[in-house]
Structure 1
Amino acid sequence: MNTPDFAIKYNLDAALAKGIRQVGIGKHGSKPLSPELVEECLQELKSGTANELQKGVFFGALMMKGPTDAELKLESYIGKHAFTNPVFFLNKLCPDLPPQLFPIGVKLLNGHSLQVSEAHQLGDFLLNNESCESFKGMAVSILRVRYETNDEYEGLHEAVKSSYTPGFQRHVKTKLPIVQLAEPFDGVEHSYMITPLLAYFFQERNYNAVTALSRSSGPKYGLNSHDLYLYMGSWLLADNHELLEMNPTFGWVLDQKSLSPALDGWVERRRTSLKRPFFATLEKVLNPCGARILVTSVFHITYQMKMAELALMAGFDGVMVLKRGLEGSLAPATSKASGLLCAVRNSNGHLFFTRLEHDFPAFAQFRTETDDEIANPTAEINATLIRKYLHNGRTDYADFDNRINYAKALYMRGLDWIESQIGY
């Protein structure tokens, strides 16, 4: 989807965009800018044509990485010694910043973590319509590069909850407990998704299933769960009271745009900022329907436990976090070390967990040498496969069938463990 028009709309070919790709990776992946790219960025900044959001993202990441000698040349855009004077730096980069956000900005630039209340205040600002895009970009970039603390996630989570539309502000008491499914909202480019069938399997186990999704904010713009569920004509939740109706075959669909237009507004910003900030993690653990169990996935294995912690913070009693799903999705890989982290909150409020690994004897029958790569997966073909499997228990595509059977065995075993721990 990276067409010329798309690249122009989101400034993807700008010098600052190139810079963000270098310095905005994270604690251990950011790279220094070449002298040539430093000069390009400086000229773009001085020309007055730089995108304000990208400007903030770029400088936030640069400050967290620490400027090299070559990158110190960029200081001339803001002022001499600005990189060592956070107060001066913030005044120059974000002149329209509301005064109450100034202490938070200085704290971020100094590399300090925010308290819960400060993170809540920052989250409220990020989700409102006030100006100062440069500060919004800088803040989310700093949090991303240095990694957010649990206190920061808690405060940001409270801010997002405050942005819910009225229909999702209060839970309803459903006859059956709710399982919520959520995978990265940017979907897949080389595989088929299996999420609707997973929802069906959980409903067979006497749960209501809700799948959280959104239009893609990137970096992938192929097929995602939003495309798939809409193509299948799925029921989009407008408010929690609809959960009291008879559940649809593949469960309900929770669209971020219906849940929080303010959060959905960040889809455009995230396309421009190129790097996915904390929203990409937090949006998967939002629990507006009062679900008891979260089924989610991570692309980076090191984030598996973090996702479990965040899920319990968000009010889930149990969580299953898949590692090494195809392209980070809920579809487990059959040729790699896929596995499931299952966690619950015990009576003391502590996290208690177990792991289900791919090399367990029960999963041996599903292992393969490779996972198929699909050239151009479409919602139409994906939906056809899902419906065929639902009606016949199989399709004509062996790789898809094997993956579904593996996923069912894996997730249902995880569910068995969670139920044994929380008394279902």
Structure 2
Amino acid sequence: MEEIFEAGVFKDSQKLAEAVAPDAPRFVQEICARLLRQETLDQKTSRQLGNFLFSDSAGDAARGMAASILRVRYETAQEYAGLLESLQETIEGFFCEVPEGDPIVQIAEPFDGVDQSYMVTPLLARHVQILGYRVVSLVGRNSGPKFGNNLLDVAEGLQAQFLKRNVDLKCPKPDYGWYIHQKNLSRGMDRWVELRLQIIKRPFLATLERFVNPVRAQMIIASAFHPPYAEKMVTVGEGAGYSGIIIVRNGLEGTLAFPLLRSVKILCSVRGRDGSYRRQELEWNPRQSLGARIEMEEKLTAPALEKNVQLIKEYTAHGRSGHEPFDWRIKATCEGIQQAMGWINEQHVS
């Protein structure tokens, strides 16, 4: 490395930022230098950084540097808030008036999908709509580091209804709700797919891209497989202004579907009349709650997309798919999420 950079550059964070990202704007180099010194950023500075990160200006090396540093040391609540503000500003074409109707719930699955189970998310969306909501799911291209079937793949396989403008939310509710493709939502976000393939590790965007709110949803349902992120995601959801937040913790990896042999923690948060949030952690045990004798957890290897789509269609048509673990998982996930939504609605009433 000393052969590439001038002597002493690694001892000076500003010089290192300038050497690694010479084409980045000066203020971005200064922010990168601060990050190299292990400083945290306030919300305003984080928003300025985000405005650059999601632009098409030169400086991809600076983008990779900032994202990697934030990923390694974990982002603060203020950094998340500022970056989300800048991300929200990249949304194109959706900020028209949302038609009146049932409350809107946003479902936000990880974009890198599942590689050990079938997805049940469209059936969860269908169940939530039966409860009296409109459901919108955010989907996008898979940027890794895992490359399983994601919700975009499943939605396309089902020929689900993709939303391109908010006015269409006045139409009758589709079977599996509406889907918004990230490429139609924000070019700034979609452009990061290629950058993330090079970074490999999940940057902050893997969390924030699920919390942008193009349809002014009142409630969001998402998941966090790794424990430290569940509380962070609740905080992000509160900062984003959702009145109800449900984060599934300890579910199946890569999705918000519930396991069948172990308990699930569900973190809930609800906004009160005074604007403050109240949190509650619920625990849901599938075997106890379903009263089922489930002896084994299904773990697949490279589940086929076509089979996943077929199971969803069969369940929609007949109330069962013929694949027992899949059917139990749908029941467990829908009942657990319904319980969490019930808690949120009880707080609104009281």
TM bracket, shorter-chain basis:
over 0.9
Residue aligning to 2:11: 84
Q: CA deviation at 1:341?
A: 1.3
The structure with the greater share of residues assigned to helix is 1
2:309 is matched with 383
1:250-399 aligned at under 5 Å gives the runs 250-359=176-285, 363=289, 365-366=291-292, 368-399=294-325
CA deviation vs aligned residue, 1:156-187 (integer Å, no higher than 9, x gap): 1111111111x212341431100111111111
**1:366, 1:403 within 8 Å by CA — same for their partners in 2?**
no
Do residues 141 (structure 1) and 73 (structure 2) align?
Answer: no
Equivalent residues of 1:356, 1:410 under 8 A apart: no
Q: Give 1:82 shift.
A: 2.2
Counterpart-to-counterpart distance in 2, 1:91 and 1:303: 32
Alignment partner, residue 160 of structure 1: 87
SS at match of 1:326: coil
Q: Name 1:400's counterpart in structure 2.
A: 326
Which residue in the other structure is 1:421 paired with? 347
Does residue 112 in structure 1 map to residue 39 in structure 2? yes
| CA RMSD, 1 decimal | 1.8
1:183-242 deviations in whole A, cap 9, x for unaligned? 111111111000001001111011000011111000122211000001111111111111
Native 8 Å contact 1:334 1:367 kept in 2: no
With 142-151 and 344-353 compared, the bigger mean Cα shift is at 344-353
* Identity percentage of aligned residues: 37
- Contact 1:115-1:151 within 8 A present in 2 as well: yes
Contact conserved, 1:193 with 1:382, CA < 8 A, in 2? yes
Map 1:196-207 to 2 at 5 A: 196-207=122-133
Distance apart, 1:367 and its partner CA:
6.9
- TM-score, length-normalised on structure 1? 0.79
Which amino acid is 2:59 matched to?
C
Please report how far the alpha carbon of residue 248 of structure 1 lies from its aligned counterpart in structure 2 after TM superposition.
Answer: 0.7
* C-alpha separation in 1, matches of 2:293 and 2:236: 31
Runs of 5+ unmatched residues, structure 2: none
Compare 391-400 and 348-357 and name the one that shifted more.
348-357
> CA contact under 8 A between 2:109 and 2:254: conserved in structure 1?
yes
Where does residue 132 of structure 1 map in the other structure? Answer: 59
Q: Distance in 2 between matches of 1:162 and 1:102?
A: 23
Aligned to 2:105: 179
The AA in structure 1 aligned to 2:68 is S
The equivalent of 1:151 in structure 2 is 78
User: Residue 366 of structure 1 contacts residue 406 of structure 1 at CA under 8 Å; is this kept in 2?
Assistant: no
CA contact (8 A) 2:261 2:286 kept: no
Contact conserved, 1:335 with 1:367, CA < 8 A, in 2? no
Runs of at least 5 residues in structure 1 that lack an aligned partner in the other structure:
1-73
- Distance in 2 between residues matched to 1:305 and 1:225, nearest whole Å: 24
1:101 equivalent in alignment to 2:32 = no
Does 113-122 or 96-105 show the bigger shift? 96-105
Q: CA deviation at 1:412?
A: 0.8
C-alpha deviation, 1:361, in angstroms:
8.3
Q: Deviations over 1:223-271 (max 9, x none)?
A: 1100000111111111111112111111000111111011011011101
TM (normalized to structure 2)? Answer: 0.95
Deviates more, 1:377-386 or 1:196-205: 377-386
CA deviation string 1:36-90 (max 9, x = no partner)? xxxxxxxxxxxxxxxxxxxxxxxxxxxxxxxxxxxxxx44532333222112212
Q: Which amino acid in structure 2 is aligned with residue 341 of structure 1?
A: L
Shift of 1:100: 2.7
- Structure 1 counterpart of 2:169: 243
Q: Tell me how far apart the structure 1 counterparts of residues 101 and 288 of structure 2 sit (CA, whole Å).
A: 33
Q: Please say if residues 218 and 274 of structure 1, whose CA atoms lie closer than 8 Å, have aligned partners that are also in contact.
A: yes
Distance 2:306 2:138 in 1: 20
Shift of the 203–131 alpha-carbon distance from structure 1 to 2, 3 Å rule, reads same
Equivalent in the alignment of 1:71: none
1:320–1:343 contact (8 Å) kept in structure 2: yes
One-letter amino acid matched to 2:204:
F
Relative contact order (C-alpha < 8 Å, sep 6+): which is higher? 2
C-alpha distance in structure 2 between counterparts of 1:410 and 1:273, whole Å:
35
Who is 1:18 aligned against? Answer: none
Residue 355 of structure 1: SS of its match in structure 2? strand
3-state SS in 2 of match to 1:77: coil
Task: Determine the structure 2 residue equivalent to 1:52.
Answer: none
- Residue 211 in 1 paired to residue 140 in 2? no
Counterpart code for 1:95: P
1:346-404 per-position Cα deviation (integer Å, ceiling 9, x unaligned): 23333312222134885262573432122232222111111211222112111111111
For the 8 Å contact 1:97–1:135, the answer to whether it is kept is: yes
Structure-2 separation of matches of 1:329 and 1:386? 16
- Offset of 1:338 from its aligned partner? 2.0
